[in-house]
Amino acid sequence: MNNVSKELACVIINPYPIRKSRTGGIIARYLVRTDLKLVGARMVGASAALSNEFAEYLANYDPDDPAKCELFSSYVRKSFSTVDSNGHAHRSMLLLFEGEDAIHKIYEVTGDINQEWLCGQTVRDTYGDLVRDPKTGAVEYFEPCVLVGRSSKYVKEMLDIWTPYLKTDSGIVHGSYDIAAGEDIQHTLVMLKPDNWRQPSLRAGNIMDLLSSTGLRIVGVKKFAMSIAQAEEFYGPVRNKLKKIFNIFGADRASQALSREFGFPVEPDQMKDLCNYLGPLFAEREFENIVEFMTGRRPSNCLPEEYNQPGSEECLAIVYEGVDAVNKIRDILGATDPLKARPGSIRREFGTNIMINAAHASDSVENAQREMRILDVANDAHFEELINQYYKES
């Protein structure tokens, strides 16, 4: 392991809790109770090959407890395998958490398979089920909610199986069996902004929970650090909007300031030429503020070769699929200004101001496609690099 002070732990959120839109609650529980950093997230539509290989591994992974092995192996064969001959996949989510003693922390918050799931202290207490026949003790129903490794050995073995399939089975999962098909199906992008990730909190998970009330499905996810080049392209359309915005309010504010300073009235109509001059300057300053907020770097202070390097701030991209996805997401997100957003909307509940407003959402299908391309949501080379960094030579 390259960094002995930290560990990399993985969590596989199973298809059933994803279908039940429990993803946000599960992620929130891990973030708050482990104090670990979420460093990677991929949506996976497990192929028959991945499902079978993983089930075969689980059938014998713990020789000291063959009954548990059979329980997990049977579960994976039933819940992860493709549904029909057309290859319609179940959706699962693979998460990577990094930090000191990460594997033990994740396992403790998850909950052991043999404990009584009665109170809600662990993830499995809350979101899983283990029902036994009261007389025989035989398992009648089993939903473990998530799959994790309890030691670095098991985590490495799990990732050794899943990693080779990431290029073919992960990214944006189209054609999942639980998602309706049709011409009116849309894809839209939500980006959880850096203010959600600066300290462990429920924010990101709670936002995902609110988004699930739209009835839309998550088909893609990516944890990433935006580069300056990405931020400038992503927010490029904002530049012209900022110039127009200044012309709206700049004349009134300039006339008021000059009237106070010089002691005679200055009319807003007289400020047109001044606003035409100051508008671009205002737009550039505000645009730099946006880029710095999203990346942690100010373009004017960076060398050209630094523009394509990942920034120091973190974001989470989520792709939603469903009927009228763009409008449904923007409605629950609320107005750009949190003070103007309706009560109960995401920006009203979690936003601070127009820039620090919790999340971005695409305003059209066309812009969603553009933004997903800029962020390259379908691909994540850094995800595999993280795994290799910790486990390739372990």
Q: Known catalytic residues?
A: 360
Q: Distance between CA 91 and CA 259 in Å, rounded?
A: 63
Parallel, antiparallel or unpaired: strands 315-323 and 217-224: antiparallel
Ramachandran region of residue 377, left (φ > 0), alpha (ψ -120 to 50) or beta?
alpha
The neighbour count for residue 25, using CB atoms within 10 Å, is: 19
CB 125, CB 131: distance < 8 Å: no
The phi, psi pair for 92, rounded to 5°, reads -130, 170
DSSP codes joined into one string, 327-384: HHHHHHH--SSTTTSPTTSHHHHH--SSSS-SEEE-SSHHHHHHHHHHHTTT--HHHH
Alpha helix locations (H) across the chain? Answer: 15-19, 23-34, 48-58, 66-79, 102-110, 123-127, 152-162, 166-169, 203-212, 228-234, 238-262, 272-295, 325-333, 346-350, 365-375, 381-391
Report helix angle 48-58 to 152-162, nearest 10: 160
CB 311, CB 299: distance < 8 Å: no
CB 295, CB 311: distance < 8 Å: yes
Residue 227 DSSP code: B
Nearest alpha carbon to residue 255 among 247, 266, 241: 266
Tell me whether residue 24 is exposed, middle or buried, using C-beta atoms within 10 angstroms of its C-beta: 0 to 12, 13 to 18, 19 or more: buried
